[in-house]
Amino acid sequence: MPDRRHHFLGIGLTENRQRTVRSFVMRAGRMTEAQSRAISDLWPVFGVDYEKNPLEFARLFGRPAPVVLEIGFGNGESLAQQAADEQEVNFLGVEVHPPGVGHLLITIRQLELNNIRISRHDAVEVLRDQVPNNSLAGVNMFFPDPWPKKRHHKRRIVQSNFVNMVAKKLQPEAFLHLATDWQPYAEHMLATLDRCSELINESGPGCFSDRLDSRTLTKFEARGKRLGHDVWDLRYRKS
């Protein structure tokens, strides 16, 4: 399977005081004319610019409703489908890959969705500076880059500091849902998340979760399944 996992995730992870280790690599991607036009036309409506001020979600979406954050939405098809299926929920998606942002904006227009907003900034800074504590009903993160080489493991997004920050942004009883098709990374995720005292593994300590029907099957995942690739889901609740 070609590795199109989210190399574009906007996550900065602090390794030490001297430098920041990022879990994403900004690669040049080809923008179609339609994607460029969608960003130009629709970003003022659906885009969220980064600034060091907490967001007022009710004002941002024009209504009070539960907010679910998706980190690294890729081309946005899964996020758009979820938003169409759960129109009573507000969705904030973070993705730094411009073609993916453009593709999602096109889909938002086609499906006439109004419950999605998009950030194209480093997600750790979005979480730290723009997402208030105890404000999210859930966080989704599907198929982040596993950084399989041992020397790159420090670049993995799922590290204790990041998990602890996410937990602080969740409301009590809110969910954290992750999925990966890379077993060593799944095991790393499981061990890291189980250590967070604010999160409860819905399937029990040391156990992966069954795939939920509500998690939209992406084209990437569907192709992997046809090739016999396994997928590991993890679901946690904020205590």
Task: Name all domains of the chain by residue range, CATH numbers in brackets.
Answer: 12-238 (3.40.50.150)
Q: Say what the pLDDT of residue 24 is.
A: 60
Say which amino acid occupies 152: H
Q: Say what the pLDDT of residue 22 is.
A: 67
pLDDT at 108 exceeding the cut of 60: yes
Q: 32-60: per-residue pLDDT in tens?
A: 999 999 999 999 999 999 999 999 999 99
Q: List, by residue number, the catalytic residues.
A: 145
Residues 6+ apart with CB under 8 A from 236: 175, 176, 177, 193, 196, 199, 200, 201, 202
Look-up of token digits 């204790």: 160
Query: How many Å apart are CA 43 and CA 57, to the nearest integer?
Result: 17
In 56-156, at which residue ranges do the beta strands (DSSP E only) sit? Answer: 67-71, 90-94, 116-119, 136-142
Structure tokens at 94: 């973070």
Structure tokens at 3: 């590795």
